[in-house]
């Protein structure tokens, strides 16, 4: 296992151990870090350390992993998550985050918003001084009128790029939408940018998760730590 994979695993295991108790419903994020959350839940359910835990998956990929690991699943209509554990692409000192490079941001935000709390799990490479420093803001875009939506996004001061899928044609999310990666550079006012993006009708949701996370569990060569949101 690579060093960074080891850090992801350490953060995910620590987050499950700290935030998940028997009887809880847990929102299951998407991505290589969230996979470790599912694996830890599967281990603890199999050993009997956790009982009656149900997961609400944010993607088909995560649902598949959960089924393989013996984590029972529910929909949001059936159960409201007590806590969601999910990865991130960038984490600011306030624990605002950019998500969506893994292609599941709309469902991730729906599940996080419906949850009692959102806890981010990540290796230390995701920590930044300011959001936008390294990654674009992904935006899930309705396919109808996508060209017009990309123009409206560009007018906010970015260069939107339609994300390609593996075969070169546009990547399609589980919900059947496009994703536009929008390069803004360092973002001065992420809450305002989130509101501006969401004022565009074809921009279904963006990867700025502002004021949503309660904490981030982060691991790197400096050790494991919990950053509380401020």
Ligand X SMILES: O=C(CO)[C@H](O)[C@H](O)COP(=O)(O)O
Q: Pick one of 27, 31, 57, 132: the residue that binds ligand X (CB under 6 A).
A: 31
Q: How wide is the angle at C-alpha 171 spanned by C-alphas 167 and 173, nearest 5°?
A: 140
95 near ligand X, rule: CB under 6 A: no
- Does 27 bind ligand X (CB under 6 A)? Our answer is no
* In the block, residue with structure tokens 């060093």: 3
Catalytic residue among 10, 65, 108, 140: 108
Q: Which is nearer to ligand X, 3 or 47 (CB)?
A: 3
104 binds ligand X (CB under 6 A): yes
Closer residue to ligand X, CB minimum distance, 25 or 33: 33
Q: Taking the chain, what is the end-to-end CA distance rounded to the nearest angstrom?
A: 33
Query: Measured on CA atoms in the order 136, 140, 143, 144, is the torsion positive or negative?
Result: negative
Do residues 162 and 150 touch, judged by C-beta distance below 8 A?
yes
Q: Determine if 218 is a binding residue for ligand X (CB under 6 A).
A: no
| Residue 160 interacts with ligand X (CB under 6 A): yes or no | no
User: Does residue 108 carry a catalytic annotation?
Assistant: yes
Residue 131, CA atoms < 13 Å, CB-side half-sphere: 26
- Rounded least distance, CB 10 to ligand X, Å: 13
Q: Are strands 223-228 and 213-220 parallel, antiparallel or unpaired?
A: antiparallel
125 labeled binding residue: no
Give CA–CA dist 104/6, Å, rounded: 23
Shortest approach of ligand X to residue 195 CB, angstroms? Answer: 20
State yes or no: residue 89 binds ligand X (CB under 6 A).
yes
Q: Which residues are catalytic?
A: 108
Contact residues for ligand X (CB under 6 A)?
29-34, 86-89, 99-105, 108
């Amino acid at each position: 296992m690579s060093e960074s994979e080891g850090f992801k695993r350490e953060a995910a295991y620590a987050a499950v151990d700290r935030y998940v108790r028997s009887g809880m419903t847990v929102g299951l994020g998407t991505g290589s870090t969230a996979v470790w959350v599912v694996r830890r839940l599967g281990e603890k359910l199999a050993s009997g350390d956790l009982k009656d835990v149900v997961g609400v998956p944010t993607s088909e990929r995560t649902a598949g992993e959960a089924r393989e690991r013996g984590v029972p699943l529910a929909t949001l209509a059936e159960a409201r998550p007590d806590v969601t554990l999910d990865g991130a692409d960038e984490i600011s000192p306030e624990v605002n985050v950019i998500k969506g490079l893994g292609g599941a941001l709309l469902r991730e935000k729906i599940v996080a918003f419906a949850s009692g709390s959102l806890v981010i799990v990540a290796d230390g490479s995701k920590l930044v001084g300011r959001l936008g420093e390294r990654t674009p803001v992904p935006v899930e875009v309705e396919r109808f009128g996508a060209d017009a939506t990309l123009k409206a996004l560009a007018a906010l001061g970015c260069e939107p790029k339609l994300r390609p899928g593996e075969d070169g044609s546009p990547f399609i999310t589980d919900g059947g939408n496009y994703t536009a990666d929008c390069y803004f550079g360092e973002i001065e006012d992420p809450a305002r940018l989130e509101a501006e993006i969401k004022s565009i009708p074809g921009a279904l949701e963006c990867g700025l998760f502002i004021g949503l996370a309660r904490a981030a569990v982060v691991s790197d060569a400096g050790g494991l730590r919990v950053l509380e949101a401020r």
